[in-house]
Structure 1
């Protein structure tokens, strides 16, 4: 499962600008908010390529950073963030 930076900030309980600032300070993001080392960090961060048609300007292209599921713990370690407690899900098979 991939998360964009906005969903990742909700997971850590911080704002998007704060996450971007921390990632840039650690050298994880470049000036375009994309992974600075996409090959090295490919297990944790990825780039999503998007495209859409604009009636006046033709085909438009975009790129955005995605955080992989394994990247959440890695990112917390890199940036010194707290990992939130994940509540235990009750087992449906438990019957009183």
Structure 2
């Protein structure tokens, strides 16, 4: 079963390698989607793939890279499936 989720990750998540970490983790898990910094200091991502792998990615996002501090992750379902592959987008 394919799951697609939209994430807004808040805390100390910019300037600590969070986007690069997320992209690497998603690619390692074979997930599709994108990640970007937001002007408000949060990180936004859309992740899609096997539901179990999406859950594993979401669980990993609560920790992120060593210097990150994740305060909250707002998760919502997303009907639109991203293109194949995982990319880092410019700040939006």
TM over 0.5: no
Larger fraction in strand = 2
Larger fraction in helix = 1
**Quick check: which has more Rg, 1 or 2?**
1
